[in-house]
Amino acid sequence: MLEIRPAESEEDIAAFLSIRGAVDPDFPMTREAFDAERTTPGRLGVLAVLDGEPAGGAFVERQYGDPTSTTAGVSVRVLEPFRRRGIGSKLLERVARHAKGFGGVEMYAVARTEAVDLIAFYSAHGFTEVGRMQDVALSTADVDLVADAPPGIEIVALGDREELEAGMYAVAQQAEADVPAARPAEAAPFPYWRRRYLGPLAIRELSFAALEGEDVVGYAILGRDDSGEVGHWMTGVRRDRRGRGIATALKRAQIAGARDVGIETLRTQNDLANTAMRRVNEKLGYRPRLEWVHVAGPIAV
C-alpha cells in the first residue's frame, strides 16, 4: 500500500531528508534548510511510504518565494529500489494538486545533466527543457585578492545594518529583471525578497553593499544552500553603475571574508546566457563543476 503524506513529524522529516541525501549525496538537504524553507509561500513537503517503508519525497513552493507567482517550483526524489512503480508520478500528482490550489499554472524543476532517470521522469510528464545553469566552485586559498574598490565606491559589510536593505532592494529590482534566465525574475515585494535573500540561511557578515556616498549602487549576498554549502546567492549592480568593476569588488570582499573565517570553497550558479557574470567568476578563479537542466511543464491534474 502506498501512502503519500505531509512530512511533518520528526520521523517523517528525517526520512524525507535521508531520501534526498541518498538519491543525490552531493546535494543533500540539511535540517536547517528544511526548517527555513517551510515558511516559503506555497511550500509543501510530502513523503511517499510504500508498505511501511519510506520510498520517496517531493516538495513544491511558489517560485522565487514570490507570493503572487503562478509558477510552482517542484522537486521529486525516489529511492532507486522503488523506481518504476509509479511512486514518482503519485508524488508529482500530489504536489501538482497543491500547486493548482494556490493558483499555479505551470511547474518548474531542475536536475543535474547526469541525472538521466530524473530528466526522463520529468520529460514523461510533459516537462521540456527551458534552460541550463553552470555550477562553478572556487578554492578561496587560490585567489589573489589585492584589489581596491572602484574610485568613489565603498564596500561595506551588511552585518546588522538593516538601513542598507532598502537600498539593496532598489538595486535588486533592476538587477533581477536583467539577469538572463530561462524564466526572468522580478524582485518580489520587499518582505518576501527579504525573506528569500536575507533569511536564516543568509550570512550577513559575508554579504556586502557598494556605497557611492550614502547611496547603495550594488550588493552581493552570500548564504548556505540546501546542502549547507556556502555560495553567492545574488550579485547586483545598479544599471547606471555597471561596467566599473563594482561586482568584482563585491565578490572579492566576500571571498576574502570567507577565507578569513575558514570557508575553503565557494560555489555559485549562472545561466549559460549570463556571459557577463560568468566572465567575472572566471576571472576570479571559479571553475566549472557541473550543469543543471531547467525544465517546465503543465499542472496536469
Instruction: Tell me: pLDDT of 148 over 90.
Output: no
The string of pLDDT tens digits covering residues 62-96 is 998 888 999 999 999 999 999 999 999 999 999 99
d(CA 96, CA 99): 5
The string of pLDDT tens digits covering residues 218-227 is 999 999 999 8
pLDDT classification of 124: cutoffs 50, 70, 90? very high
Name every residue whose Cβ is closer than 8 Å to that of residue 150 and which is 6 or more positions away in sequence.
244, 245, 246, 249
For CA atoms 270, 46, 65, 74, give the dihedral sign. positive
| Residue type present at position 203 | I
User: Is residue 246 domain-resident?
Assistant: yes
User: Is residue 97 domain-resident?
Assistant: yes
The string of pLDDT tens digits covering residues 131-142 is 999 999 999 988
- Over residues 87-106, mean pLDDT: 98
Q: Which of 68, 93, 125 is the last residue of a domain?
A: 125
**Helix, strand, coil in percent for the chain, rounding step 5:** 35, 30, 30
- State the helix-helix crossing angle for 275-284 and 246-260, rounded to 10 degrees: 40
- pLDDT at site 255: 95
CATH value at residue 206? 3.40.630.30
Which residue has 565578490 as its cell numbers?
251
41 and 106 in a common domain = yes
143 and 221 in a common domain = yes
144 and 222 in a common domain = yes
- pLDDT at site 146: 67
Angstrom distances, CA of residue 5 to CA of 16, 24, 54, 208: 11, 22, 11, 41
Query: Closest Cα partner for 145 from 251, 279, 296, 242?
Result: 251
- pLDDT at site 180: 82
Bigger pLDDT: 145 vs 121: 121
153 and 278 in a common domain = yes
The string of pLDDT tens digits covering residues 263-293 is 999 999 999 988 988 998 998 999 999 999 9
20 and 63 in a common domain = yes
162-172: b (≥16 Cβ within 10 Å) or e? eebbebbbbbb
Cell triple for residue 276? 557577463
- pLDDT at site 64: 84
Instruction: Tell me: pLDDT of 244 over 80.
Output: yes
User: Is residue 298 domain-resident?
Assistant: no
37 and 69 in a common domain = yes
Instruction: Tell me: pLDDT of 147 over 70.
Output: no
pLDDT classification of 45: cutoffs 50, 70, 90? very high
- Rounded to 5 degrees, φ, ψ at 46 are -130, 155
d(CA 12, CA 6): 8
- Over residues 204-225, mean pLDDT: 98
265 and 170 in a common domain = yes
- pLDDT at site 157: 98
- State the helix-helix crossing angle for 190-197 and 165-178, rounded to 10 degrees: 90
Residue 89 domain boundaries: 2-125
12-34: b (≥16 Cβ within 10 Å) or e? bbebbbebbbebbeebbbbeebb
87-103: b (≥16 Cβ within 10 Å) or e? bbebbbbbbbebbeebe
Instruction: Tell me: pLDDT of 151 over 80.
Output: yes
Q: What is the tally of structural domains in the chain?
A: 2
User: Is residue 130 domain-resident?
Assistant: no
* Pairing relationship of beta strands 71-78 and 53-62 according to DSSP bridges: antiparallel
276 and 188 in a common domain = yes
- Over residues 146-162, mean pLDDT: 92
- pLDDT at site 248: 93
User: Is residue 300 domain-resident?
Assistant: no
User: Is residue 154 domain-resident?
Assistant: yes
Q: Do the Cβ atoms of 243 and 254 come closer than 8 Å?
A: no
Instruction: Tell me: pLDDT of 53 over 80.
Output: yes
Query: Closest Cα partner for 237 from 227, 249, 246?
Result: 246
222 and 144 in a common domain = yes
Which residue has 533581477 as its cell numbers?
176
Q: Which of 69, 102, 125 is the last residue of a domain?
A: 125
User: Is residue 243 domain-resident?
Assistant: yes
The string of pLDDT tens digits covering residues 156-189 is 999 999 999 999 999 999 999 998 876 767 778 8
282 and 152 in a common domain = yes
194 and 163 in a common domain = yes
d(CA 173, CA 20): 33
Query: Closest Cα partner for 115 from 224, 233, 229, 20?
Result: 20
* Pairing relationship of beta strands 106-112 and 71-78 according to DSSP bridges: parallel
pTM across the whole model: 0.88
Q: Which of 125, 149, 183 is the last residue of a domain?
A: 125
User: Is residue 301 domain-resident?
Assistant: no
287 and 160 in a common domain = yes
The string of pLDDT tens digits covering residues 14-43 is 999 999 999 999 999 999 999 999 989 999
